[in-house]
């Protein structure tokens, strides 16, 4: 699950739980670094869609 895999999001439908999670996140001194690490992991695992589209168009143009 992407929520757990990268640690970038918290999800709940309970407003009290949402407040708890938000306050805990704000109080966490390591949150910024954990988010940064999760972001880097997420980006490393995904493709650059813009780069993919450009390469696909360039290949199609070269074969045209």
Residue 29 phi, psi dihedral angles, 5° rounding: -70, -20
CA angle 2, 38, 50 (to 5 degrees): 75
**pLDDT reported for residue 21:** 94
**pLDDT reported for residue 40:** 94
**pLDDT reported for residue 46:** 92
pTM: 0.65
**pLDDT reported for residue 10:** 85
- From first to last of its 64 residues, the chain has per-residue pLDDT tens of 676 889 888 889 999 999 999 999 999 999 999 999 999 999 999 999 999 999 999 999 999 8
């Amino acid at each position: 699950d992407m929520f757990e895999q990268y640690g970038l999001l918290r999800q709940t439908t309970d407003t009290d739980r949402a407040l708890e999670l938000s306050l805990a996140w704000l109080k966490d001194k390591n949150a910024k670094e954990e988010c940064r690490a999760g972001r880097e992991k997420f980006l490393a695992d995904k493709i650059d869609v813009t780069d993919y589209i450009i390469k696909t168009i360039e290949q199609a143009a070269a074969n045209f």
